[in-house]
A and B are shown apart, each in its own frame.
Chain A
Amino acid sequence: MTQTAEGKALSRERLLSAYRMMRTIREFEERVHAEFATGEIPGFVHLYAGEEASAAGVCINLDDRDTIASTHRGHGHCIARGVDVGEMMAEIYGRKTGSCHGKGGSMHIADLSKGMLGANGIVGGGPPLICGAALAAKIKGTGGVGVAFFGDGGSNQGTTLESMNLASVWNLPAIFVAENNGYAETTSSTWSVASDNIADRAAGFGMPGVIVDGFDFFAVHETASEAIARARAGGGPTLIEMKFTRYYGHFEGDQQTYRADEVAHARAELDCLKRFAGLVTQTGELTRADLDAVDADVAVLIDQAVEEAQAAPLPTAADLLTDVYVRY
């Protein structure tokens, strides 16, 4: 089932929305990178900078019926799904005003009201959740889909492989998005992924597997929109493998001695935001002024988020006993 040319075309509003999503993710991550270095942010953060086209190109096709599950590197997915940026920043700062009242931190940001089942501290933790969400959508007949984002490390987890099997067996409206940024923590995916291309595994589960240039918003969007339309229409699951590079280490503080300097090349030549801006201004779909206006808005938004997070109260000892299943 393919969509019509009209269905695929991106309106001016959608293009602006895509750019805003990607720019917000980038600014958010660059700012967290800078603020983390001050020592004010507790715990670990794993930055999504460089991978923005994946979250935006997939999530811009989703609506209220849909659910996503994320990874350690979850800020981009949260923003693309519409989680409040101020609450996210507060959560990362461990403040009471955060999405999870400051008790989750970067790796556990969740907002069920946005269909965002959470960033996840468990590698390969998202795909089983998405099978559940997709099964619910199928039984209820909502037309909703579930999207599991996972990394090249997560692609080797039994949970991910079992989920792909189950999704095929039950013909679930589930999309598996393998974000292959080349390294699972410090281990190269060319060494650790036996089939080399994660997408090749789809054939074994009887689902389509597609490799996409993860730096190219338009390639991601086109592929994801087809996969999602197919899933909504009862066509079953798809595996999409994004190939790209993360701009920062596995976590902030990672010395990255395991990789050559591939980031400078990616930032200069492949960057999703630069590429998007170049393409839409070349075709005349958007102007540089349109994009600059978004950049200015986003800068204010991120400044505000940081200021408010820093000013917000920390949880109190009594908060330890709220939002838990067992009371002591």
Chain B
Amino acid sequence: MKLLVCISKTPDTEAKIQLTPDGKQLDTSGMKYIMNPYDEWYALVRALELVEAQGGSVTVINVGPSSNDQIIRKALAIGAHEAVRIDAEPTSAWFVAHQIAAFAKNENYDLIFCGKETIDYNGSEVPAMLAELLDLPFVAWASKLDMEGNTATLHRDIEGGVEIVKVATPFVVSAAKGMAEQRIPNMRGIMMAKRKPLKVVEPVAVDDPVSVVQYALPPKKKGVKLIEPEHIDELVRLLHEEAKVI
């Protein structure tokens, strides 16, 4: 099987978000970055498991600047066979999807994995766009994926339940929690990653239809109002009369 896994870079889950004084940009000084957890823990690991069971190769792809090579090497250390970086700032989901589609178009991947969303812009847009650009079926937010021959059975998270679907390769899937178990790269993987190919590809020309014009921080909480455990009726009264939520 020939598999492609789309990986993205996001600020660490613990990162504090700060803005430039005019709020036009993020203040990224000192920001720590990680591989998007859905891409690393679920999409990449499930792709590796499939190839371990049936043979084939896993290519990871990232749209981003050379500073992303660190997370790309991590994906290689976890077990991906080769990597591609499209050398451009990932300015929008539209831009990213067009870049990946342009690369994947003639490669005939059996399966393209994404994460369910990036934890920075929480878009959930790239995988659907990519599927449309490549004219492929798409299963979003899959928590389970099993292959039999060239047919996959997937569980997809929906409101208040799960949808079980079948689809033949090739297709695009976005991975949610449950699809695999996180793998920690070991020393051998890290050494081997240094020798694995990381191909840098020039971007295709794409106009961005959207752009961020302003950021804002959420309004600060007024501070917690503490209620004595002996006076729970007071909490109920406040929720009704002050907060108006019950």
Does B associate with A?
no
